[in-house]
Each structure stands twice: as structure tokens, then as C-alpha cells.
Structure 1
Amino acid sequence: MKTNNNLGIWMDHATAHLIDLNSKDECRIIVSKFTTDVKEDALIKSESLMHNKRQQMQEEYYEEIGAKILKYTHVLLFGPTNAKVELHNYLNKNLHFKDVKIDIEAADKMTDNEKNAFVKSHFETI
């Protein structure tokens, strides 16, 4: 069911922008459920609860992104934080992703047009 498509994902720990230049809806967004409110709420109860909650919700966030990645053969993870590396490590533990080529690039905050251009440029050079 895999098509030979490329997917760019600009991400940080809060949001992931999925950019498929061959798709009609060029950019989809996945938002982490670990918000500042959730963090503060858990932190009031205990620091350890907050860390557990963050880890659990981060894993759900990565799982949701991973479900989208499975439809592609080549994925570019880019963004300003180490979330892209954490996602890559998470995916490497799962054999479902062994046939997906994943590239990682550092990138600052960008406009949607800059993200699209970055993804297009990355896959044109391959």
C-alpha cells in the first residue's frame, strides 16, 4: 500500500507540520496533547507525575506522526528542537519503519512557504 512518495515534517515538541508536496492538502498539522496547562496541572501534583505524563503524551504524539509516516518511502524530519531526533529514535525501535528512509535536518522557525521550499529543495537534490 506504500507509494513512492516523499514527506517532509517540520516539528518541535508541540506541533508537527506534515508536508506532502504531491498531495492536495499540502500541509497537515498534528498537535501534541502535552500542553503548558497539562504540564502545570501535573507539576502541581508532583514532578514525577509531570515527567511520566510528558513521556506518555510524547509517545502518543510520536505514534500519531508515525502512523502517517508509514504511507511514505522517504521522510525528511526538520525543525528547531531535538524532537526530530527523538522521533527518529522512537521510529528506529519499531520494525514497521525499517523500509522508510528518514533524513534529519536542523532548521529554524519557518513560514509555511519556507517549509514547502525546504522540503522541495531537499527531495530535488536526491
Structure 2
Amino acid sequence: MEVEYNIAGRILAKEGSRVISLAEILASPEAGSGATCAADLSEDVLSAYCKAVSAQNACKVYLWKDREEYGNANVFNGGSDYEVVNEVCFLCIYDSGCEVLRERTNCWNEKIDAVVSYNV
């Protein structure tokens, strides 16, 4: 079984929106020196990073981590499909350093879709 992590975010500042990359999060003080990949970043670390960036920029910041487990599913007539069999999605939103939302869902959190294509 393979596990895939996706971590991304977006800063929604008055000057314009900007994507937050995994490399940027890993290089931050909140991630600590032991974090080298997405799997190393806990929800608490991501929330701390989101809060810090939000306070620093005095704006709304979205940050999400999606964990997908791939495996065999939907076996019919001796065949199989290799697809996502388990998913956990974490989303946190801070506005000027104040927590707006912090939640975990067992599927893709559709609240993220509105932010992915957001342009200020």
C-alpha cells in the first residue's frame, strides 16, 4: 500500500494571493529541524505555521494536508483497480493570527476548492 501526502496553502493578502509551498513550510522555524518531508509535519505544526504567517501578513491564510492511501479496491470478476482506499484531509484557516477553522475530514475537504482557484 502506498501513501501520498499533499500539503499546500494560500495567503490571501490585500496585495494579492500567493501559494504556500511544502518547501517553504519545511524551511520555517515552526517545522523544526527534524522535518524533511510532508509526513513529518503534524497538524499542530501546520496550524502553528498557518497562525504565524497569518499574523505576520495580517490576512487570511489557508493550509491543508491531504493523506491518501492507495490499494486494491472494487474487485469484480477477478480484476482489480488500484485507487484511493483511505483519505484524511486536514484544513486550518487563520485570519490575522486568529483561528477561524481547524478540522479533519475523512475525504477531500471541499472548502479547499474555493481557495485553490482564488485570485485577489
TM-score range, shorter chain: 0.3 to 0.5
Q: TM-score, normalised by structure 2?
A: 0.36
Q: TM-score, normalised by structure 1?
A: 0.35
Q: Per residue, is there more strand in 1 or in 2?
A: 2
